[in-house]
Structure 1
Amino acid sequence: MPLLDIRNLTIEMDMAEGRVKAVDRVSLTINEGKVRGLIGESGSGKSLIGKAIVGISKPNWRITADRLRLGDIDLMNLSERERRRVMREDIAMIFQDPATCLDPSEEVGTQLEKSIPTDNFKGGFWRRFQWRKKQAQALLHKVGIKDHRHVMQSYPYELSQGVCQQVMIAMAIAGKPKLLIADEPSASMDPNTASQILKLLKRLNQTNNMTILLVSNDFATVRELAQDVSIIYCGQIVEVAQTKEIISRAFHPYTQALLDALPEQRRQSAAKTPMKNLAGSVPLLQHLPIGCRLGPRCPHAQKQCVEQPVLQKKRSHLFACHFPLKQE
């Protein structure tokens, strides 16, 4: 039984130009103890999917889904109290912009200590506060922060973006959630710290059986952790497969463009040759093309691409393209 099961998730937004679909009928399944990568360019709707899972929305959003379940919990029909319980015990999210998610009026140490559950604490209540402080220090060390005293006594605006991101990761893993949604967890960090964070996530997955949805625009980061990967473009899933399979044989032109941007692909190219890339840019939500949303940028586009492609299945490989690559 999958831990996270999403069927036809759609997120619509009311804007000045009218209602637009930021996420369009996205389906996503993650089995317990697995790592699923969700890859796409900025503005493709990746972060919105994570926020919909944890129940974050705005007044001008309209979220619908045929199914949105965490195990046997229906996330679409939770009361506020039930949702807070699920967020406390079962789901945690590492947000992409930590500076806006931490309280600027409270010290980082206080915020981190509040995120540590006391369910497993045994002893007198007078020892609980000191226990939480020690747990907070241990969490900071785990995410690569050595000077825990300085960080715990600081306010978020006194710390760098990278350190704030490390603090947010510590807060997310404090409760040992069943599902961790990591939205660009190492984007604002130096390479050494980013490598340490990825190793931490991998260890949590292997030792704690923590299920992870890894959201990123970097294929190189995702392939280090994820067993399976979903590619999203303009709010639609365009390809789904095991990570090794999709790297060796991508069917969708957009997936191939992401693979062509990997560092080893650049090193294999002859000196001074232009790097392969797709022409144009991601269309605005208010001006999405008819049919295949990659059509105006796709080098393989034909007349049939004015019709919306449906997901096709070839063994365990799903792709939405009228003219897939590497067909026998």
Structure 2
Amino acid sequence: MTETILHASKIAIEIAGLELVSDVDLEVDKGHSLGIVGETGSGKSLTCRALAGLLSPIGGRISRGNLRLGRHDVTSPGAHGKENLYGRVVSLVPQNSLTALNPLMRIGTHLTETIKALNSGRIVQAKARAIDLLERVGLPNPERILSQYPHELSGGMRQRVMIALAIAGRPQLLIADEPTTALDVSVQKDILELLRRLSHEENMALILVSHDLGVIATATQAVAVMYAGRIVERGPTDTVLRQPRHPYTQALLRARPTIGRTGRLIGILGAPASPEAWPIGCRFASRCPHVESRCKAKVPALEKTGAEKVVACHRVKEHLALELE
């Protein structure tokens, strides 16, 4: 039997009274992987911060909906002890390793302080555990790396350190937010393979966030496509990417460069609306080639289009499979 580690239902996120993410439904089981994809500003990273309990530092909060991590309902009124879940049940690998690491602290200090904090004062061999973590993420000569500062490491090495920090508490769910940003292709491949290996070895759920459909196709079993703070399509990765049904998912695939493709890339016309001016109906309506009056008047609900796939579009039954030139 599979065990559901994350269950998010109708989650809404707001900052300074402005709703930036609306009605997000996500679920991931132990040992499984979920991708979240969308343009910059679609709400991917903000959703990750909410799942990882990191909204308060930026003045955000979950304004409605239900979020469960394992057996813990962290959004119920009076929920206690949820701070003990973060780093243990769920952990986050942030986007930028250089800014996430304190430039004045050696790597060893980052790791040993994290290990001690996660063990809540219990006596642990922090240095030995730190060396073990660096070995697990594939870093050579870990004792030397413990003595180095973040700027002395390459981007790929720093990202491996961030992953080591994230798994220090043996979490059941690891969230990797754009973990391959600014890395060259060969290093990207190594980081993705590392995340897959750790997920398999630890039977750990993995959420991988990216704007790169190639990364999502390579590393995840299921995918949720986000646009302007909403999920517009969700299902098995191969099905969604082979047979996209939402016009936005289709537009993303048309704009994706691939090896051997001879047709012209087709960009998405227009720009996403800002949260202050989100329309009443479908948020993709102003950029959609299939828009009609009801799209501007009513928010489309996520509807099943198969056993495991849902799409939020009034005209979903009319849309054919994507045909690339």
TM-score past 0.5 threshold: yes
| Paired position in structure 2 for 1:115 | 114
Say whether 1:311 aligns with 2:302.
yes
CA shift digits 1:21-56 (9 cap, x unpaired): 210111111122210111111111111111112221
| Paired position in structure 2 for 1:65 | 64
Q: Offset at 1:204?
A: 1.7
For 1:242 and 1:170, how far apart are their aligned partners in 2?
28
| Paired position in structure 2 for 1:8 | 10
For 1:204 and 1:166, how far apart are their aligned partners in 2?
12
| Paired position in structure 1 for 2:199 | 205
Say whether 1:269 aligns with 2:268.
no
Counterparts in 2 of 1:1-328, with a 5 A limit? Answer: 1-14=3-16, 19-58=17-56, 60-77=59-76, 82-116=81-115, 129=125, 132-146=126-140, 148-264=142-258, 267-270=260-263, 274-307=264-297, 308-315=299-306, 316-324=308-316, 325-326=319-320
- Relative distance call for 1:214 and 1:97 in structure 2 (3 A) is same
Contact 2:38 2:44 survives alignment (8 Å): yes
Give the residue type in structure 2 aligned to 1:24. S
- Relative distance call for 1:300 and 1:195 in structure 2 (3 A) is same
Q: Which runs of 5+ in 2 are unaligned?
A: none
Give the residue type in structure 1 aligned to 2:305. K
Contact 1:144 1:193 survives alignment (8 Å): no
Q: Residue 56 of structure 1: SS of its match in structure 2?
A: coil
Q: Offset at 1:232?
A: 0.6
Give the residue type in structure 2 aligned to 1:295. A
- Relative distance call for 1:119 and 1:277 in structure 2 (3 A) is closer
Q: Offset at 1:85?
A: 2.0
- Relative distance call for 1:203 and 1:323 in structure 2 (3 A) is same
Q: Offset at 1:162?
A: 4.2
Give the residue type in structure 2 aligned to 1:208. E
Contact 2:4 2:70 survives alignment (8 Å): yes
For 2:205 and 2:131, how far apart are their aligned partners in 1?
24
Q: Residue 8 of structure 2: SS of its match in structure 1?
A: strand
- Relative distance call for 1:226 and 1:253 in structure 2 (3 A) is same
Contact 1:53 1:75 survives alignment (8 Å): no
For 2:40 and 2:55, how far apart are their aligned partners in 1?
19
Give the residue type in structure 1 aligned to 2:283. R
Q: Residue 99 of structure 1: SS of its match in structure 2?
A: helix
Contact 1:309 1:322 survives alignment (8 Å): yes
Q: Which runs of 5+ in 1 are unaligned?
A: none
Q: Residue 239 of structure 1: SS of its match in structure 2?
A: strand
Q: Offset at 1:80?
A: 9.8
Q: Offset at 1:180?
A: 0.4
Q: Offset at 1:256?
A: 1.1
Contact 1:4 1:71 survives alignment (8 Å): yes
For 2:150 and 2:266, how far apart are their aligned partners in 1?
40
Which is further off, 83-92 or 197-206? Answer: 83-92
Contact 1:112 1:136 survives alignment (8 Å): yes
Contact 1:165 1:188 survives alignment (8 Å): no
- Relative distance call for 1:194 and 1:134 in structure 2 (3 A) is farther
Q: Offset at 1:165?
A: 2.4
Give the residue type in structure 2 aligned to 1:116. I
Which is further off, 48-57 or 72-81? Answer: 72-81
| Sequence identity percentage | 36
Q: Offset at 1:73?
A: 0.5
For 1:303 and 1:242, how far apart are their aligned partners in 2?
31
Contact 2:87 2:166 survives alignment (8 Å): no
Give the residue type in structure 2 aligned to 1:267. G
For 2:169 and 2:234, how far apart are their aligned partners in 1?
30
Q: Offset at 1:184?
A: 0.8
Q: Offset at 1:119?
A: 9.5
For 1:5 and 1:163, how far apart are their aligned partners in 2?
32
